[in-house]
Structure 1
Amino acid sequence: MAIPQHTIDQILDRTDIVELIGQRVKLKKTGRTYSGCCPFHQEKTPSFHVYRDKQYYHCFGCQANGNAIRFLMDIDQRNFVEVMKELSSQTGIELPQEQHDNKRLSYTREKVVAKTTPAPSPVSTTLTEPTANTDQASAPIETPPLDFAIDPFEQFQPQYADPEHDVFFDISPEQHVEADGNLYDLLENIANFYQQQLPLSKSAQRYFKKRGLSNETIQYWRLGYAPDDWQHLQHAFPQDIQGLKLLGLIRTSDNGRDFDLLRDRVIFPIRDSKGRVVGFGGRALNDEIKPKYINSPDSEVFHKNRLLYGLYEGRKQKAHDWLMVEGYMDVIALQQSGVYGAVATLGTASNEEHLNILFKQNNQLTIAFDGDAAGQKAARRTLEIALPLLSDGRELKFFVLPDQHDPDSLMRQEGFETFNRLWQQSPLLSDFIFALLSQQHQITTPEGKSQVMAELNQLTELLPKHGSYRYLLKQFFKEKLGFNKKWQPQVSLDASLSFNIRTKDEDFATAILIHYPYLYSHFETLRAIIQPDQLLAQVLTTIDRVFEQLPDDQEQASYFILGACSAYHYELNEILQRTHIHMLIQAPEMADQQAKEYALALQEKYLKLKLKSPSSLRESRHLRQQLNELTKQISLKLIQ
């Protein structure tokens, strides 16, 4: 069975490799990865790591590595087709029958007996001033009327260059079936055709110039123009009418007339993750025409809900930070100014698939919204979609734009530095939710606080059940609303400004664990390498023993741990007073982030200590592999 690459990619995108491998291997979250003992060789200390964001696994002991398909093939000794059938069943993506997928991407081409005519001057793709009268009058009508007093298709029959052969022709009725065409090839030719038409339209060039786009940007994004007559694609591609209809670029009116979907519009070719043109967006040049934007309809190669405009270009530019905006022009203008990670949905609201695609690029994601009521409504909807996806380690920020600005206008008027500063200052999800709910309720009254907590409980129910974020978010709101006043330490400014006593990383880690016991999962791996006589080691052992019994409430959980660690009461009390951990950590994301950083730093410290006196050559080699992997994790965090 021949399985096309795009089907394989779809199946891998919908397969959670951590969940799949977790059914065969006991995995524990360690920083940004999941680790366990390798199933492909015997080992006691975990060296097998699974990367959810990359959908990849790697063993630093035996060097086994690959994706979900390779794992199932190797673990069960099955062939590729058998594994693909299983994953197909799990993800709901059908595999093609023999030759079926190729047929879906093909169409019948018609051979046209062409009568060549003297060609006009060659079409140039350089954006120079066009000759006079090259623009036709913009018509606000988007579908042809049912009855024509004068048939516009007969009155206006221009000649077009064949984009493949640069031959000009008239259409003859004598036709016969030729070879099959491919939809991807046709889309590429159409994109070239629209690009060739741009230098012929003064109004289209004026539009891009007004939006501040350079010639280099226009060429890079392959921007173009769709002429305003009703059948320009039929004339340019007379052999490919069936393919054009399959793509939805030619429509049929009620009276049986074929007409082009995109007319008198600037054109934005849409590329998939591999850089192939799969569809087009068109923006009307006449503002009286509604809708202002039209996209190609869904087809065999174009699926709006699974594509993001600018994703391919951002990957090509090796973007690290990703920002979801609203429109094509926002994406292009931002990338022209150096914000390479800007993407937009294709005329649809953002959905789970869009967010998952971006979370695979980076666990930190920002979404831009207008500051008006409509923007707040869209933000609330996106929030409810995003919450189920926020497993531990993922971070979502909300960039609320100043009034009367979109990202494009903000960048052009305020410049890159201001734009970037406002972006980086965007509130985290926890702060955004609190601001959103506190605007709707009077939080100075008990009734208002109760309403806020009731809505928060509804929202947190959407969060993944496994993980610390649900717990941390509730505690964050309780502290913001003043429920935990008695637990706020009295901070001495003199003490906080004293640098005479150096506080160890172990002390901060201990304070975090006492105050946020549910963050124990970040430190669990330390138990295997930390010196057992350390106070932190004793606290970790105690929490591990009672973890399943911890109360849901943070204050009660902290009291519970303090009681369980009563043998170290005086040492712990001194550490809590000295670190002021409650004042240093103001948001649940911050607590989670601090816990990860201290855990990584301490792992590195104790691995280096053990390397000084390994018990055997084998242990030394294994410790070195662990340290190398840890160093990579720390380097990635520094880059972020």
Structure 2
Amino acid sequence: MTRISKSQIDLVTNAQDIGFWAKKYMKLEFKGPNAFGLCPFHSEKTPSFSINTLKNFYYCFGCHKSGNSVNLVMHFESLIFHEAIFFMAQALGIVIEATDDDPLSGQYEKMAKIAQLFYSHMSKNEVAIEYLKSRQITGRSAKQFLLGLSIDQASLLIKQSMISRQELVDLGFLLPASRDPNKTYCRFRHRLMFPVQNMQGQIIGFGGRDLSNSEDAKYLNSAESKLFNKRNVLYGLYQARQSKGRTAFVVEGYIDVIRLWQNGLCGAVAPMGTAITGNQISILNRYFDQVYFCFDGDQAGINASEKALIKTLEVMRDGLRVYFVTLPLGHDPDSFILTNGVNAFNTLIERAPDLFEYLDQRYLSACQGPSDLIAVALKIKPWVNEMPNSMTKRALIQFVAQKTGLGSDWLEQTVEPESPQPPAGVNPVIEKTILPNLWYNLLASARSGGVNERRKKELEAHCPIEHLPMLMLLHQPLTGQELDAFLQEHKLSMLGFSIEVFSQALINHHSSNNAMDTDNMIIQLTINYLETKINRLISRINHDSDNQQRLNLKALIHEKNSLKQQLKLNLQQGI
């Protein structure tokens, strides 16, 4: 591994105190030699992170993380120790001399050598030059991104690179021939080459675009190796970080990245030909404050946006702002800018919905009725469940609850682990023994007319939307074509979900020592639903106090008061 002497490490760490580095990444309030701010290692509302510039030390009173300036740079730049020392030295203008016995260092040198060879080869090839002109890629962009042209003959690649055949095999540029393992051929042939760089600018792999119009894959990446893992890298990230901006534009292709860069949007990055991964989102989460997903306007692009939404929710930190740019059908960022200009693209960016608005437009607002709402709730449940505990998660729960009208309490229940503990005071035996009898009595009474019709209507009037299929089943014959029609209209999964929630409501308000007849069961459930609706109305009233145009606030207050009176009557009847 790379070895750096202690004296050189001390030279770097003593050149600037920890405050110099912390200010690059955090908002801090300085009080003498100390400073305070929100901890970068965990989510919090009140600052508990402190640094001492005299001792070059940080400590969080919340999560108890501690370290020095090198540890801080390692965290924010995603570097290992010796990489952080080199990074800090470069920023300070300090030259570090190191002994290097890391076998990967030689591979970095060879990758850089091959990239330069490809770049030189392209500059002499008319086909490659004409292709770049046709795509309106400038010479400055070609140099910035080290674009090149592959060398198609193994012997020529060996000769011009002065790298041995076996080393080129190990690096993934040569492959053994299937018929004769002693012979090799080039992995990249007739391809425009896009070098992929890590955060330090070292070349770790390549993407190649076919220029021969053959039946081969249009794009081909380097094989997975110790240097290159396509799930953990983003094309263009090095250039994006060099621009010092805090806004990223996630696109699908190499040319899209270069097109945005040419037009001043220097934060453009792209996954390596696959759906964006959690690791790639984590990188964006760390280095940028705003992320715009700008995928193609076709169905594949829509699917990519959904996957990006899911992966973002899994790792999203408080303070990260995420937007979704919708491109017209048939366009990617490259074609859209070439056709309409960068100003039109900037307009799309300005109008892009944020994550909450996109979730509303894409899923919630499209609901046409109870079944749709239930389907969306089931779809969103695992996404929210995977989110880290944060203010963003709480805000999303409240947002979805308000938009669906399901109530935040219900939504929070849906994002709990799949096997929650029984509620306090509830005998688990109830679910196995008493609940089936309750269902039998309830269904039998409903079919025979034994349930008080007024109670049943009250229940229907006030129950949450997720219980509607279950209530409809109370009125349906349990055999014959009508039941078949019911199950076709209301998906079995929706019915099962409704039964699960409906059953839990019964369990929560029943015990083995307190049997409840069918009519009183309906009363108790109605009470619960009234409480839910009142809370929902209060939430709406609080929300709309700043916007009188959306709803008639007086009407809501009147309805709330009416519900309170009804709740009081039901409570009296339930005693």
Measured against the shorter chain, the TM-score band is: 0.5 to 0.7
Q: Is the 8 A contact 2:128 2:149 kept in 1?
A: yes
In the alignment, does 2:243 pair up with 1:317?
yes
2:472 matched residue in structure 1: none
Q: Is the 8 A contact 1:37 1:48 kept in 2?
A: no
2:279 matched residue in structure 1: 353
In the alignment, does 2:376 pair up with 1:452?
yes
Please list, as runs of the form range in 1=range in 2, the aligned pairs for 1:403-422 lying within 5 A after superposition: 403-422=329-348
Shift of 1:585: 12
Give me the CA root mean square deviation. Answer: 4.2
1:47 matched residue in structure 2: 36
Structure 1 CA distance for aligned equivalents of residues 175 and 348 of structure 2: 44
Q: Is the 8 A contact 1:322 1:358 kept in 2?
A: yes
- Using a 3 Å threshold, how does the CA distance of structure 1 residues 268 and 583 change in structure 2: closer, same or farther? farther
More helix by share: 2
2:210 matched residue in structure 1: 284
**What residue identity is the alignment partner of 1:220?**
Q
Given candidates 461, 473, 479, the residue that maps to 2:402 is 479
Structure 2 CA distance for aligned equivalents of residues 402 and 212 of structure 1: 21
- Using a 3 Å threshold, how does the CA distance of structure 1 residues 275 and 437 change in structure 2: closer, same or farther? same
In the alignment, does 2:425 pair up with 1:436?
no
Q: Is the 8 A contact 1:47 1:61 kept in 2?
A: no
Shift of 1:581: 3.1
1:376 matched residue in structure 2: 302
Structure 1 CA distance for aligned equivalents of residues 324 and 333 of structure 2: 13
In the alignment, does 2:111 pair up with 1:187?
yes
- Using a 3 Å threshold, how does the CA distance of structure 1 residues 400 and 415 change in structure 2: closer, same or farther? same
- Using a 3 Å threshold, how does the CA distance of structure 1 residues 212 and 36 change in structure 2: closer, same or farther? closer
445-454 or 313-322, which moves further after superposition? 445-454
Higher relative CO (Cα under 8 Å, sequence separation at least 6) belongs to: 1
Shift of 1:262: 1.0
- Using a 3 Å threshold, how does the CA distance of structure 1 residues 239 and 286 change in structure 2: closer, same or farther? closer
Q: Is the 8 A contact 2:150 2:193 kept in 1?
A: yes
Q: Is the 8 A contact 2:154 2:174 kept in 1?
A: no
In the alignment, does 2:393 pair up with 1:470?
yes
Secondary structure in 2 matching 1:294? strand
Shift of 1:72: 4.7
**What residue identity is the alignment partner of 1:421?**
T
Secondary structure in 2 matching 1:469? helix
Please list, as runs of the form range in 1=range in 2, the aligned pairs for 1:595-614 lying within 5 A after superposition: none
**1:329-373, Cα deviation, whole Å (9 max, x unpaired):** 111111011110000112232111111111112232111222322
Shift of 1:230: 4.4
Q: Is the 8 A contact 1:186 1:243 kept in 2?
A: no
Shift of 1:423: 1.4
- Using a 3 Å threshold, how does the CA distance of structure 1 residues 58 and 234 change in structure 2: closer, same or farther? same
Secondary structure in 2 matching 1:268? strand
Shift of 1:215: 1.6
Shift of 1:584: 10
Q: Is the 8 A contact 1:58 1:65 kept in 2?
A: no
Structure 2 CA distance for aligned equivalents of residues 368 and 216 of structure 1: 24
Please list, as runs of the form range in 1=range in 2, the aligned pairs for 1:73-84 lying within 5 A after superposition: none
- Using a 3 Å threshold, how does the CA distance of structure 1 residues 305 and 72 change in structure 2: closer, same or farther? same
**1:143-169, Cα deviation, whole Å (9 max, x unpaired):** xxxxxxxxxxxxxxxxxxxxxxxxxxx
Q: Is the 8 A contact 1:397 1:429 kept in 2?
A: yes
Given candidates 559, 581, 589, the residue that maps to 2:546 is 581
Structure 2 CA distance for aligned equivalents of residues 4 and 51 of structure 1: 28
1:603 matched residue in structure 2: none
Please list, as runs of the form range in 1=range in 2, the aligned pairs for 1:297-316 lying within 5 A after superposition: 297-316=223-242
Task: Extract unaligned runs of 5+ from structure 2.
Answer: 6-24, 43-47, 72-79, 82-97, 408-530, 552-575
2:171 matched residue in structure 1: 247
Structure 1 CA distance for aligned equivalents of residues 372 and 38 of structure 2: 46
Shift of 1:460: 1.6
**1:293-325, Cα deviation, whole Å (9 max, x unpaired):** 111112232222222111111121222311111
Q: Is the 8 A contact 2:250 2:268 kept in 1?
A: yes
- Using a 3 Å threshold, how does the CA distance of structure 1 residues 449 and 234 change in structure 2: closer, same or farther? same
**What residue identity is the alignment partner of 1:192?**
Q
1:344 matched residue in structure 2: 270
Shift of 1:249: 0.8
Structure 2 CA distance for aligned equivalents of residues 584 and 357 of structure 1: 42
Secondary structure in 2 matching 1:385? helix
Structure 2 CA distance for aligned equivalents of residues 366 and 63 of structure 1: 40
2:129 matched residue in structure 1: 205
Structure 2 CA distance for aligned equivalents of residues 203 and 209 of structure 1: 10
**What residue identity is the alignment partner of 1:311?**
L
Shift of 1:457: 2.6
Task: Extract unaligned runs of 5+ from structure 1.
Answer: 6-31, 79-86, 89-98, 107-181, 485-551, 561-572, 587-640
Given candidates 283, 288, 300, the residue that maps to 1:362 is 288
**1:249-298, Cα deviation, whole Å (9 max, x unpaired):** 11111211111111111111221111112222211102223211111112
Structure 1 CA distance for aligned equivalents of residues 154 and 289 of structure 2: 46
Structure 2 CA distance for aligned equivalents of residues 411 and 231 of structure 1: 41
Structure 2 CA distance for aligned equivalents of residues 272 and 448 of structure 1: 44
Structure 2 CA distance for aligned equivalents of residues 557 and 37 of structure 1: 44
Secondary structure in 2 matching 1:322? strand
**What residue identity is the alignment partner of 1:207?**
Y
Q: Is the 8 A contact 2:249 2:267 kept in 1?
A: yes
Shift of 1:35: 9.0
**What residue identity is the alignment partner of 2:392?**
Y
Secondary structure in 2 matching 1:259? strand
**What residue identity is the alignment partner of 1:47?**
F
**What residue identity is the alignment partner of 1:50?**
C
Corresponding pairs, count: 374
Structure 2 CA distance for aligned equivalents of residues 303 and 36 of structure 1: 39
Secondary structure in 1 matching 2:359? helix
Please list, as runs of the form range in 1=range in 2, the aligned pairs for 1:491-510 lying within 5 A after superposition: none
Please list, as runs of the form range in 1=range in 2, the aligned pairs for 1:4-15 lying within 5 A after superposition: none
Given candidates 229, 235, 238, the residue that maps to 2:153 is 229
Structure 2 CA distance for aligned equivalents of residues 554 and 461 of structure 1: 24
Identical aligned residues as a percent: 26
2:448 matched residue in structure 1: none
Q: Is the 8 A contact 2:50 2:59 kept in 1?
A: no
Secondary structure in 1 matching 2:255? helix
**1:235-256, Cα deviation, whole Å (9 max, x unpaired):** 2234432321221111111211
- Using a 3 Å threshold, how does the CA distance of structure 1 residues 37 and 339 change in structure 2: closer, same or farther? closer
In the alignment, does 2:187 pair up with 1:261?
yes
**1:39-97, Cα deviation, whole Å (9 max, x unpaired):** xx9x9xx83653359xxx9746655556899975669xx9xxxxxxxx99xxxxxxxxx
Q: Is the 8 A contact 1:36 1:49 kept in 2?
A: no
Q: Is the 8 A contact 1:58 1:66 kept in 2?
A: no
In the alignment, does 2:104 pair up with 1:105?
yes
Structure 1 CA distance for aligned equivalents of residues 549 and 393 of structure 2: 20
1:528 matched residue in structure 2: none
**1:419-444, Cα deviation, whole Å (9 max, x unpaired):** 011012111122222233248x6x23
